[in-house]
Amino acid sequence: LRYPGFAPAPGRPVVTSYLNGASGPASAPAGSATAQTLPPYSLTSFVLRPAHRRALPAAPGTPAVTAVTDTTATVSWPAAKGRHRPGRSYEVHLQDAAGSHPVGRTARTTLALRDLRAGTRYTVTVVTRDVGGTTSWSTPAVAFVTGTPADSTCAVHVADTNDWGNGYVGSLGITNTGTEPVEGWRLEFAFPRPWQSFGSGWSATWTAEGVHVTAADPNTTIAPGSTVSVGYVGNYAGPNILPRVFTLNGTVCTTR
């Protein structure tokens, strides 16, 4: 755990964990401010005190995310309350699987997010920054998931047609929604979680490397308005989330 611009007080923090199969959360001092062990399938929280206290700007209210598309979204938040020094601004941070990074600073209470990845889960937080560079505590994190293009030259319908607890049959319907035939098609997707994997497939030539999967048929043409159907067996050892982002010959498809 790292805290840019923040120094935690020494001592073991009180950690509250809700373990898999437990009847409720339990609290006890554990780990340190810079290292914690998180049990599998658990929820863990702890609160740290700063080593040196100083007056911080008031934090803004909990943000809301609206107008989410495949590559854009709008985040807005209630203004920070109380008196503020001139030059106050808000800083928006976006988190994904790769980590957290600032995406914009504004004096307003709304910010447009651009260049997002389709079918990706993000969380967003906001802090107040005063003219001296001091930041407030963060708002609670708010999660959202981008979609797939509303308009594309291809569409994929994905369904779990048979599930037995640690595996399932996935059905894919690939539709050419464009005006030109797709000759020699190649469909690519990735499982959303690392505990998911490819088992076998049919009606195409299937290959898999880790969570990344490819189904191809170089000898088949998909005419405009036509659909081809393929299927696969997927395995999982945690929550099973169906893939949402598919590309057909490099084009991101609409997922239905």
CA gap 43, 145 in Å, rounded: 21
Instruction: Quickly state the pLDDT bin for 86 (edges 50, 70, 90).
Output: low
Q: Name the range with the highest mean pLDDT among 3-12, 35-44, 231-240.
A: 231-240
What's the rounded mean pLDDT across residues 231-243?
A: 96
What are the E-state strand segments in the chain? Answer: 14-18, 26-29, 43-46, 64-66, 73-76, 89-96, 99-106, 110-113, 121-129, 142-145, 154-163, 167-176, 182-190, 196-202, 205-209, 212-222, 227-236, 246-248, 251-252, 254-255
Is the torsion defined by CA of 242, 248, 254, 256 positive or negative?
negative
What pLDDT is stored for residue 87 in this prediction? 64
In tens, the pLDDT along 136-174 reads 889 999 999 999 998 999 999 999 999 999 999 999 999
Residue 222: alpha-carbon gap to chain centroid: 32
Residue 84's pLDDT is 57
Give every strand in the sheet of 43-46, ordered side by side. Answer: 26-29, 14-18, 43-46
Q: Are 127 and 91 in contact (CB under 8 A)?
A: yes
Tokens of 101: 């990074």
- Report angle CA 246, 185, 244 to the nearest 5 degrees: 10
How many residues are given for the chain?
Answer: 256
Residue 133 pLDDT: 82
State pTM to two decimals: 0.68
Q: What whole-number distance in Å separates Cα of residue 9 and Cα of residue 11? A: 7
